[in-house]
Structure 1
């Protein structure tokens, strides 16, 4: 059954029988036969197809969602069995929220590959909600998220602190203030924030509540880089992780503002679904824990 599900998922994701056959190194008639057999076993059609398109019907959407989860579990089971007699090797699917995934994770993976070259990591970057959801449905082996996942079915382990500061462009009038910035002055600024579901957005709203800030205007972006560019261009100010702005601070492209109660500290957390872990996953999580004391990218690049 797993082969039928794999063929079905590939057809759905390629949206074409011919492209799916090429991806699977099969003939198109063989792919069609797998789909017909799966539909026969399920008891109804799963795909609407014509000469121009292949797309899911309502039942197909249900089967596709669960097929992804089943295939993820099957792969994890096979890897766990292989691990009983083998050293740490094989695939590991890692998810990370933007701050950690873009600015910290690449250095950890470089260390991982140097010590365990047979481990094959793949990385998915998304916001905290998205990563937690993919871990929950077994599409990712592990997630590293900002803040705390609210999914009670996941195992969550806080493993590192992340300091967050308010940043502005050097040309901003607030950057020239010598003392602490008045809360009213902060409220008058345009705040450039992440989208809902992001750990950084959650931290920003928590900071607003703690400091009593009611922003006059919010501007939202779906990732960290355009926020940095927007702040640098003088469009507004933002609460950002120190991990994400080290280069900009060093180059003088951004500066931090003195705000009472900051830096704001949040936590990076490891989220997993299953208590059973492959050796590759165990090695990766151990590496995350061992890197807990690191505070700068320069530290991360030093030999461990």
Structure 2
């Protein structure tokens, strides 16, 4: 049945039988046969077909969601059985929110690959809410998030502290002020992350801590364009010191001296099951010992 589900997932994602067949290295009639067999076993049609594409119907959406979860569990089960050989190897599906995923995780993966070359990591970078959802549905083995996580279904462990600062372009008028007031901050345009991200949560906490709300905001969905916007003079932002270390070192950005900052938050790892593959075990141990690397940023 797992092969039928894999074929179904690929057809649903490619929205086309021929493209799915190419992806799976199968013939198109074979793909069609797998889909018919799955629909027969379910007793209901799962795909709406046209000459140009195929699309999930309501029943198909239900099967697609659970098929992803089932295959994730199947893969985890197989990896746990393989681990009886006591060798860390195989797939490791990692999710990370943007700050950690873009600026910290690559350094940790370098150590992982040097020590365990047979582990094959696959990384998904998304906001905290999305990472948590993918871990919950077994599509990721582990998620690394920023800030507080309020879900009850997952196992959470804090493993390092991150410091966040308000940054401006080196050419910004505030960069030349010896004393920056709350009024200055309130009147600036703030470049912020979208709702659901750990960085946005931290930013809202700082607004509450300093007792102001900005009059103007512009929203971006990842850290890199925020840095580009700040450097170009579009506005100011609260960002992890890890994310802006190069810009600060190169004097393209400047940290504003604000009383009560930096703002500290936690990097946390989230997992779904207490049963862990050997690959996941060694990765978690690397995370637990990585704080000195993270804080150097």
Which range, TM-score by smaller chain?
over 0.9
- 1:63 Cα deviation after fit: 0.5
Alpha-carbon deviations, 1:123-177, whole Å to 9, x = none?
0000000101000000000000001222110111010000000001111111111
Give the structure 2 partner of residue 126 of structure 1: 126
- 1:120 Cα deviation after fit: 0.2
- 1:86 Cα deviation after fit: 3.8
Give the structure 1 partner of residue 168 of structure 2: 168
Give the structure 1 partner of residue 182 of structure 2: 183
- 1:13 Cα deviation after fit: 1.1
Gaps of 5+ in 1: 298-304
How many pairs align? 296
Q: TM-score, normalised by structure 2?
A: 0.98
Give the structure 1 partner of residue 264 of structure 2: 265
Q: Hey, what's the Cα distance between the residues in 1 that align with 2:6 and 2:86?
A: 26
Give the structure 2 partner of residue 244 of structure 1: 243
- 1:83 lines up with 2:79 in the alignment: no
Q: Hey, what's the Cα distance between the residues in 2 that align with 1:139 and 1:196?
A: 22
Q: Hey, what's the Cα distance between the residues in 1 that align with 2:158 and 2:243?
A: 19
Q: TM-score, normalised by structure 1?
A: 0.96
Give the structure 2 partner of residue 66 of structure 1: 66
- 1:296 Cα deviation after fit: 2.1
Q: Which runs of 4+ in 1 moved over 4 A?
A: none
- 1:28 Cα deviation after fit: 1.3
Give the alignment of 1:214-233 within 5 angstroms: 214-233=213-232
Alpha-carbon deviations, 1:64-97, whole Å to 9, x = none?
0000000000000011011012400000000000
Q: Hey, what's the Cα distance between the residues in 1 that align with 2:190 and 2:21?
A: 49
- 1:213 Cα deviation after fit: 1.4
RMSD over aligned Cα atoms: 0.9
Give the structure 2 partner of residue 195 of structure 1: 194
Q: Hey, what's the Cα distance between the residues in 2 that align with 1:79 and 1:152?
A: 26
Gaps of 5+ in 2: none
- 1:29 Cα deviation after fit: 1.1
